[in-house]
Amino acid sequence: MPLHRLTAITVGVPDVEATAAYYTDFGLTPLGGNAFATSDGGEQFRLAHSAQRRLLEIGIGVDDADDLDRVERQLAALDLVAERSDTAVTVNEPIAGFKAVVSIADRIEQEPVPATPYNGPGRIERAGRAPGIEREGQVRPHKLGHVVIGSTDQAATQRFFTEGIGFKVSDEVPSLAAFMRCSTDHHNVLVQQAPVNFLHHTSWQVDDIDEIGRGAMAMLEDNPERHIWGLGRHHIGSNFFWYLKDPAGNFSEYYSDIDCIVDDALWKPGVWEGAKSLFNWGPPPPPSFLMPEDLAALMTGSHSSE
């Protein structure tokens, strides 16, 4: 597909310093100026001051100027005015209010990580102790995998991404959410119906389930209040997950083993309801995951972490 990755996102928060410290603990690499990098994706996360927590900007990578021409035409068909440069198309999403920047960008080249060996019935893949329990050092996310956005008009924001930018729908929860991709990952953006426009969570790829566990336990060792939901496995997308909460109220997810769609002809989008729209196994999601505790304050414009 002409789209190939999420490049970077900018998130507005009331307390930039405290939130920056959180994402440093989370394993992102500080670059200065409240910008952060992943090990494979380069600079992918930025923080800026905002009275309320919110998504300010999302970046999507394309290969060349022809792709930009196509995106510009598609946005015009939705009566959206975009700003065009030699290397990017910039447009404001009209419902949730964030800026989308579609730019010519290098594709992420990920060196294959050796498969984690697991012993099973009649199958011995490793001798000695499991490598996952002998790992040391901080967990470092490989890339930004996806962003989940709450919109007061889910259908309109979905059209912005599909008809305007060119995302493809992987799976849907009727009248509630759409899982959309701009790469071979199952989803890079999920838009859900919400009573207020807000950023629900960002999701970051790590090697395997052991890295999810190691990362989450390190985050919780001195700050148990950061825990939101996990460990579990999603049904839609299939990825293992653990969710934590930053000081502004945004959730961040460690994930591994997500579905990949390398041939559109071999993938049929599904329609899901009930528990499987949320998870396959694990503890049930807490009410604060489904309806973050600060949403009422966000609706009245009174939320602040300062």
DSSP letters for 102-143: EEE-PPP-PPPPPPPP--BTTB----SS-GGGT--S-----E
Mean per-residue pLDDT, 161-186 = 97
Residue 102 above 50 pLDDT?
yes
User: Would you give the distance in Å from CA 109 to the centre of its chain?
Assistant: 19
In this predicted structure, what is the pLDDT of residue 305? 44
pLDDT tens digits for 108-149? 999 999 999 999 999 999 989 999 999 999 999 999 999 999
Give the full edge-to-edge strand order of the sheet including 143-151: 227-233, 240-245, 251-256, 198-205, 143-151, 189-193, 177-181, 168-173, 270-271
* DSSP output for 191-210: EEE-SS-EEEEEEEE-SSHH
Residue 216 above 50 pLDDT?
yes
Mean per-residue pLDDT, 84-104 = 97
Number of H helices, E strands in the chain: 6, 17
Residue 72 above 70 pLDDT?
yes
Mean per-residue pLDDT, 198-202 = 98
In this predicted structure, what is the pLDDT of residue 306? 42
Q: 3-class SS at 249?
A: coil
Report how far residue 256's alpha carbon sits from residue 206's, in angstroms, rounded to the nearest whole number: 6
Mean per-residue pLDDT, 82-110 = 97
Q: Which amino acid is at 226?
A: R
Q: Which amino acid is at 243?
A: Y
Range list of H helices, the chain: 16-26, 65-77, 154-159, 209-220, 287-290, 295-300
pTM here is 0.96
pLDDT tens digits for 10-66? 999 999 999 999 999 999 999 999 999 999 999 999 999 999 999 999 999 999 999
In this predicted structure, what is the pLDDT of residue 2? 87
